Amino acid sequence: MTRILVISAHPDDETYGAGGTIRKHVLQGDEVTVMIVTDGVTARHDKTEMQQAAARLACERLGVSDVRFPGLPDQRLDGMPLLEVIRPISAVINDVRPEVVYTHHRGDANQDHRALFAATLVAVRPFGSNPVKKVLSYEVASSTEWGPPFNEWAFQPNVFVDISETLDDKLHAVEAYRETHQSEVPPYPHPRSPEATRIFAQHRGVMVGMKAAEAFVLVRSLKD
Ligand SMILES: [Zn+2]
């Protein structure tokens, strides 16, 4: 059994970015905690409870019951001292002692995603009693591929997880976000539509001879 922490800026990033992989961890008997760092909606409206309920339902469909909401402000992480973003991440790492952490990609178009990557990197420092042995960045449709076309921002995955057996569960989890105050599930051909989510998974899969995959950048891996 491995302890896993998935850090997500907004309710839905965890599902779009790593839903199939999360489900796979759960089926393998791993313990997964999802931390959704911002409320995800207050840049647009104040119905945070509906969004949290949708996130709980999505995670439940992936088999995760430990979902945490530190409640930082949506779309405003870049205006906060980085320390304030690091603090809840360090707290959850101290609490659940994860060996593997999934976080955002540093080159995403979304500023909260970028801030979380930076904060995660500090919170997982490989020093002292820090339990984290492996750090991976996931991609989020309509943010990662919308980053600027410069090498240092590019998402160049080097880890591919076969999700052909869990893609349907991921899509079921995505549907949990359809009925919130302002739906996070737009129609095709939006990159976050269910159809596009399947195509994305197939695209990442065929890159490496799988029917469906989620792709990650391995940031660090420590072996005993
Ligand atoms: Zn997001």
- Centre of ligand 1 to C-alpha 40, Å, is 8
How does the average pLDDT of the chain come out, rounded?
95
- Which CATH code of 3.40.50.300, 3.40.47.10, 3.40.50.10320, 3.40.50.970 fits the domain covering 3-221? 3.40.50.10320
Query: What angle do helix axes 167-175 and 194-206 make, rounded to 10 degrees?
Result: 150
pLDDT exceeds cutoff 90 at 181: no
CA distance 159 to 17: 13
- Centre of ligand 1 to C-alpha 110, Å, is 7
| 204-220: pLDDT as tens digits | 999 999 999 999 999 99
Domain ranges of the chain: 3-221
CA distance 210 to 206: 5
pLDDT exceeds cutoff 80 at 107: yes
CA distance 144 to 137: 11
pLDDT, mean of residues 35-52: 84
What pLDDT score was predicted for residue 41? Answer: 74
- Range of lowest pLDDT (69-78, 96-105, 173-182): 173-182
- Centre of ligand 1 to C-alpha 10, Å, is 5
| 46-91: pLDDT as tens digits | 778 888 999 999 999 999 999 999 999 988 998 999 999 999 999 9
What pLDDT score was predicted for residue 79? Answer: 92
Other C-beta atoms closer than 10 Å to the C-beta of 162 total 19
Backbone angles phi, psi at 99, to 5 degrees: -90, -30
- Centre of ligand 1 to C-alpha 143, Å, is 7
pTM for the model stands at 0.96
What pLDDT score was predicted for residue 40? Answer: 79
- Centre of ligand 1 to C-alpha 129, Å, is 30
